[in-house]
Chains A and B, each alone.
Chain A
Amino acid sequence: MSLFITAAYIAIAIISISTILTLVRFFKGPSLPDRVISLDVFSANLLAVLAIYSVLSEEKAYLNVALIMSLIAFVGTMTFAYYLVQKREKSKNYDQ
């Protein structure tokens, strides 16, 4: 095992630890925006693991997957923010 492959495995291990910490915030988070943000960081961690795994398996197609992942994560975050604002405005209207 060369130095480079060892470094890639260590990087994947560190990112796995950070994914677990992100999930801790996801389960603990007191409000919905906390969970949205932790999901965003989770998808960024997944993107990094995909990029490193594409090096380990010598498969360039995983980088395309990473590109699509970043776009889908953005759409998810935007949808949750829009949902939060709309929910707030609807409950305001019902109060009146």
Chain B
Amino acid sequence: MINDLLSAAFMLGGSIFMLIASIGMVKFPDFYIRNSASTKAVVLGVLLILLGVGIHYNDTMIFIEIFAILFFIFLISPLAAHIVSRAAVITGVGFWEKTDLEELEDYKKEQDKEAIRNTKWFATSEQDTSQRKC
């Protein structure tokens, strides 16, 4: 009885978190804000639903399987969000007008300076020989 109640509460809570995530997907103004909202809420929702399933089965093998799924999701979800938003910055997806972009501008300026510093404007003979030795 307590098992059933606990499992039902976990499942309902998890599904409500998934609903919050997709409402955020529709309502938020900007790609980066949507990405941040959906990633965190979806991870919490899947965690709660899988815990509810595990409590219902009450079996060791099922818990091991569920921890495997949770391990992959906790490993994968922040990585995927980071990589997709990096690709979005590189391809030039627009920001929200109220976003504070000062740090990004500073970072881009630093990167430009580094690129200019690392460019070989003319190939000297010393550099050529050192490259051959390597």
Chain A positions near chain B (C-beta within 8 angstroms): 2-4, 7-8, 10-12, 14-15, 17-19, 21-22, 24-25, 31-34, 36-38, 40-41, 44-45, 47-48, 51-52, 54-55, 60, 63-64, 66-67, 70-71, 73-74, 77-78, 80-82, 84-85, 87-88
Residues of B within 8 A of A71 (CB): 72, 76
SS class, residues of chain B in contact with chain A:
helix
From 1 to 52 in chain B, residues with beta carbon under 8 angstroms from any chain A beta carbon are: 4-5, 7-9, 11-12, 14-16, 18-19, 21-23, 25-26, 31, 34-35, 38, 42, 45-46, 49-50
Binding site for A on B (CB under 8 A): 4-5, 7-9, 11-12, 14-16, 18-19, 21-23, 25-26, 31, 34-35, 38, 42, 45-46, 49-50, 53, 56-57, 62, 65-66, 68-69, 72-73, 76, 79-81, 83-88, 90-91, 93
Question: Assuming the A-B contacts A4-B56, A70-B69, are A33 and B31 also in contact, with contact meaning beta carbons closer than 8 angstroms in the complex?
Answer: yes
CB distance from A91 to the nearest CB of B (A): 10
Please judge, given known A-B contacts A17-B19, A34-B31, A41-B22, whether A48 and B84 are in contact too, CB under 8 Å. Answer: no
* Chain A minimum-CB-distance residue to B18: A18
Contact of B18 among A15, A25, A84 (CB under 8 A): A15
Chain B's closest residue to A44 (CB) is B42
CB <8 Å contact, B72 and A40 = no
Given A7-B8, A51-B53, A81-B86, CB of A67 within 8 Å of CB of B31: no
With a CB–CB cut-off of 8 A, which chain B residues contact A87? Answer: 91
Whole-angstrom distance between the alpha carbons of A55 and B8 in the complex? Answer: 11
List of B residues within 8 angstroms of A4 by Cβ? 4, 7-8, 56
Expressed in whole angstroms, the minimum distance between the Cβ of B23 and any Cβ of chain A is 6
